[in-house]
Amino acid sequence: MITCTLRYEIDPDQVAAFEAYARVWIGLVNRMGGTHHGYWLPSEGANDVAYAMFSYPSLAAYEAYRIASADDVECQTAFAFAQRTGCIRRYDRSFTRPVLDAAPIEALETF
């Protein structure tokens, strides 16, 4: 599994527009075979930083999603909305792999 983490710099005057955009993308990623883990919007502290995380079974599946999203009408509508409203100033993407299962304390003894 590969998880894409997005760090957004958003327009603080367009948080409501960004939230609308985020809610749409949760459905789009899920429809296109991913698992969206949600968005985190500004609350306390910096008012122009937001995060999102979603996973695909592999990097190849993620790349297939990226290619398909370029031809998907709803994805293109969402991209156009972000451009029209200016809710996203910039974003960075990184890829990680999740650790989701617990281990007993004794597991530390092997190092």
- pTM assigned to the model: 0.88
Residues 6 or more apart from 36 whose CB is under 8 A from it?
25, 26, 29, 30, 52, 53, 54
Domain boundaries, the chain: 2-97
| Dist. CA 22–CA 99, nearest whole Å | 25
| CA-based nearest residue to 94, from 68, 62, 72, 67 | 62
Contact 75, 35 (CB under 8 A): no
What is the CATH code for 2-97? Answer: 3.30.70.100
| Dist. CA 92–CA 9, nearest whole Å | 9
pLDDT, tens only, 37-86: 999 999 887 799 999 999 999 999 999 999 999 999 999 999 999 999 99
